[in-house]
Amino acid sequence: MGFQIIELQIENGIATITLNRPKALNALNLAMAAELGQAVHQVRDDPAVRVVVITGSGDKAFAAGADITEFKAMSPVDAWMFTQQLQRVYMGIERLPKPVIAAVNGYALGGGCELMMACDIVYASGSAKIGQPEVNLGIIPGAGGTQRLSRLIGKQRAKELVLTGDMIGAQEAWNLGLLNKVFPPDQLMSEVKKLAEKLASKGAVALKAAKEAIEEGYDIELERGVANEGKLFGLCFGTEDMREGVNAFLEKRPPQFKGK
């Protein structure tokens, strides 16, 4: 499928989705949100894709949020529909049965920060700036910012960021637990590639089951979460990858997983 506003590149099992409006700091307009949704469907259904990377083009931004120029003409219902669209896309990323890495190469603000938080692992450049600045526009976050942020960093810290609208640097965001690792800007993409290759070398069914166990268990009581984990653990015992992993360990050789 051809895309106009994003790029989708698939190489060696790694799909890289690049938000590509660098002049507007990769702001998410309606068309970009639609294309991002299509790309997420495409990589979900493509068995050749084992890992997904999401990044922004240029050297300034991952995404500076929703496209504010489109807000002027939006009615309350339009705005509601827009956030529902973004929420569906971000939920689709969070529930994608494959690991998703955010490569945050600059501003991740508003809808950009919300996109980053829907990804599984976040690597960022030291020049990244993170925030939920919506209150400065007289609005509030609409694509999960009031929900995922408090789950990730706690209610009080989330309130400080959302209520002040302040941006924070990469180091502070890492301290808060919003970023997995921070790298010098010129090393970010090579480190993301290393991580993506490492994840692509694992058994795809085990990664899917592990992600599902964490996602499904996150908002439910511990007892149900561990019970679900146990069933997914059992399911792994039916895979070729499990035989291969155990045999490789016993034979003291690296495993060759097939995702089956």
Contacts of 189 (CB under 8 A, 6+ apart): 55, 103, 105
Asked if 68 touches ligand CAA (CB under 6 A), the answer is yes
Query: Please, which residues bridge with residue 18 across strands?
Result: 7, 55
Site string for ligand CAA, 13-52 (x = CB under 6 A): -----------xx-x-------------------------
Chain position whose Cβ is nearest to ligand CAA: 110
Q: Supply the minimum distance, in Å, between the C-beta of residue 140 and ligand CAA.
A: 8
> Between 58 and 217, whose beta carbon lies closer to ligand CAA?
58
Q: Give the number of C-alpha atoms closer than 13 A to the C-alpha of residue 97, restricted to the C-beta side.
A: 13
Active site residue 221: no
Amino acid 68 reads I
Asked if 235 touches ligand CAA (CB under 6 A), the answer is no
Site string for ligand CAA, 144-183 (x = CB under 6 A): -x--------------------------------------
Q: Pinpoint the alpha helices (H) of 154-239.
A: 155-164, 170-176, 188-200, 204-218, 222-236
Kindly state the tokens that stand for 139. Answer: 């609005």
> Between 17 and 109, whose beta carbon lies closer to ligand CAA?
109
CA distance 81 to 76: 9
Active site residue 114: yes
CA distance 90 to 85: 9
- Binding-site size for ligand CAA (CB under 6 A) equals 23
> Between 96 and 109, whose beta carbon lies closer to ligand CAA?
109
Contacts of 15 (CB under 8 A, 6+ apart): 8, 9, 39, 43, 46, 49, 51, 52, 53
Q: Which stretch binds ligand CAA (CB under 6 A): 88-96, 108-116, 190-198, 215-223?
A: 108-116
Is the distance from CB of 147 to CB of 159 less than 8 angstroms? Answer: no
Asked if 67 touches ligand CAA (CB under 6 A), the answer is yes
∠ at Cα 76 (72, 77), nearest 5°?
120
Is the distance from CB of 108 to CB of 62 less than 8 angstroms? Answer: yes
> Between 35 and 67, whose beta carbon lies closer to ligand CAA?
67
Q: Which stretch binds ligand CAA (CB under 6 A): 35-43, 88-96, 132-140, 246-254?
A: 132-140
Q: Which residue has the tokens 């993506």?
A: 196
- Residues with catalytic roles: 114, 134
Note the residues at the interface with ligand CAA (CB under 6 A): 24-25, 27, 64-69, 83, 86, 107, 109-111, 114, 133-134, 137, 141-143, 145
